Amino acid sequence: MYLEIVSPEATLFAGEVTSVTVPGINGEFQMLENHAPIVSLLQEGKVKVKGNIVVDETFQDKFSKGSNGETVLHITSGTVEMKDNKVIVLAD
């Protein structure tokens, strides 16, 4: 599936991934290939991405590696939309 992580400053990441875990306001949840369409508000927490992730050098300082090998981005709030195997995270 395709993931875009967009902040007010720039698109932090865009590319193919295998899973995305986000901090929803009712708890953390994961999206995999062919997930049902969803729109959700996000709270402060970690966006965890699995797959062969290549982050642009400009934004590498915003990402870290998680304990399970995932790529992690800390956010303060945002929204997520999943539709037709495309996930868009609008993050603050």
Do residues 18 and 70 touch, judged by C-beta distance below 8 A? no
Q: What is the pLDDT of residues 75-84, one digit of tens each?
A: 999 999 999 9
pLDDT above 90 for 90: yes
**Residue 74: its pLDDT value, please?**
97
Exposure string of 63-84, with b = 16+ CB inside 10 Å and e = fewer, is: beeeeeebbbbebeebebebee
What pLDDT, on a 0 to 100 scale, did the predictor assign at position 81? Answer: 98
Q: How many residues does the chain have?
A: 92
Domain boundaries, the chain: 2-91
What does DSSP say about strands 2-6 and 86-91: parallel, antiparallel, or unpaired?
parallel
- Please report the pLDDT score of residue 65 as a whole number: 94
CB-CB contact of 70 with 76 (8 Å): no
Residue 10, pLDDT score: 95
Domain 2-91 indexed as CATH 2.60.15.10: yes
Q: Quick one: pLDDT at residue 83?
A: 97
User: For residue 67, is pLDDT > 90?
Assistant: no
